[in-house]
Amino acid sequence: MTTPSLHRQSPVVFDATPTKLEPQDGWNVARSYPQDSTLDSPRLIDLSHRPRWDYQDSCLDEKSPFGLHVPPRPGEVAIASGLIISRMNRTQVSIGSIGFGAPPDTPPDVGYTDTTDSHCWLAILGKNTPTVMECVSSLDLFFPERITPFLTQGPVLHVPCQVVTMETDCILISFSRGYGQTFVDALLHSASDTGVQVGGEQMFTDWVAEKYGAT
Amino acid sequence: MTFRLTCPVCGARDVYEFRYGGQERGPRPEQAQLSSDEHFRWTQFRMTRPEPQEEWWYHTGGCGVWFTTWRNPATNREEPPHEVERG
Ligand SMILES: [Zn+2]
């Protein structure tokens, strides 16, 4: 009898064979897929292994979780030190790691909840990203008067989601882990006319590096 | 049938993103001198007038916030209360 090694498992499995698969903090991360060399069609990228937290405090405006400035109004998003911080409501922000370096440890303050294992986190990348999102949600994710990046909380494929519009060519979506596999299956099917296909994490980190530098 | 509601966090959204939480009916009355009839009216009695009423809604498909808004059930539009409120 063999003892299984401890590992974490993404809530989604893509029907494709990665060309580069690397272990990271107990996760197997698909860095690239064979078709990743050109961004000629939109890509669906799994970011579920990247650390996420919720932070909550009744006096949120006086706090600075991970040393970050808290955006003053719900829907506002800031990016600093490799972290993205999204204001959800009066008392809560969600924080995620989009940078390259090692993510910070969870501080001992009771306001933090590590939500990495409870969420599925995806990116849609590429110039037809708005068309992909139109196939799966009626939310207005590209309202021209809003300043990117910004957060929208609402249904995508009828699943309550946090959606961050980074730019016209990049959307981040997070939601409860249990919806993960059916969510990606439905998205790839619903938006198949756009040519959407799965992509490796490297495409996302390259996009972040180009946009924000080696954060 | 569809209409929009205004979430204080997310703004105007499709009503299908929300769950109805009933009419706002003020604080629970003190139990001490409460007659059974008054208790019944507070727990069970609801208005059905075709004029704006204050209601609780929960943004279940979005930010997860409970809030109240005034809606006219005759038109399904959010509408401020009429000037003379009934007691
Ligand atoms: Zn809301």
Domains and CATH numbers, chain B: 4-79 (3.30.2270.10)
Task: Tell if the CB–CB gap between A153 and B9 is shorter than 8 Å.
Answer: yes
The phi and psi torsions of A208 (rounded to 5 degrees) equal -65, -40
Within a domain: A103: yes
Collect all residues of chain A within an 8 Å Cβ-Cβ radius of residue B19.
none
Give the Cα separation of B87 and B82 in Å (integer).
13
- Strand pairing class (A197-199; A43-46): parallel
Task: Tell if the CB–CB gap between A89 and B62 is shorter than 8 Å.
Answer: no
pLDDT category at A126 given cuts 50, 70, 90 is very high
Residue A5: the pLDDT is: 62
Give the Cα separation of A43 and A31 in Å (integer).
13
Collect all residues of chain B within an 8 Å Cβ-Cβ radius of residue A75.
9-10
The residue range of the domain holding A201 is 42-215
Other beta carbons less than 10 A from residue A130's beta carbon: 16
| Peptide linkage before B80 cis (omega within 30 of 0) | no
Cβ–Cβ under 8 Å, residues A70 and A93: yes
Element (H, E) at A130: helix A129-136
B residues 5-64 near A, CB within 8 Å? 9-10, 13-14, 17, 59-64
Instruction: Report, as an integer, the average pLDDT of A174-195.
Output: 98
DSSP class per residue in A73-110: STTBEEEETTEEEEE-SSSEEEEEE-SSSPPPPPPS-T
B66 Cβ under 8 Å from any chain A Cβ: no
Number of H helices, E strands in chain A: 3, 13
| Cα of A15 to nearest chain B Cα, Å | 29
Specify the CATH number for the domain of residue A152: 3.30.1360.120
Within a domain: A14: no
Instruction: Report, as an integer, the average pLDDT of A117-141.
Output: 96
Candidates A157, A162, A165, A159; CA nearest to A189 is A157
Q: In chain A, how many domains are there?
A: 1
Give yes or no for residue B48 having a pLDDT over 90.
no
Within a domain: A13: no
Within a domain: A6: no
Instruction: Report, as an integer, the average pLDDT of A167-195.
Output: 97
pLDDT category at A7 given cuts 50, 70, 90 is confident
Within a domain: A5: no
Instruction: Report, as an integer, the average pLDDT of A13-28.
Output: 93
Q: Which amino acid is at A9?
A: Q
Cβ–Cβ under 8 Å, residues B13 and B62: yes
- Return mean pLDDT, chain A: 94
CA atoms within 13 Å, Cβ hemisphere of A83: 23
Instruction: Report, as an integer, the average pLDDT of B50-61.
Output: 96
Within a domain: A51: yes
pTM of the prediction?
A: 0.91
Within a domain: A90: yes
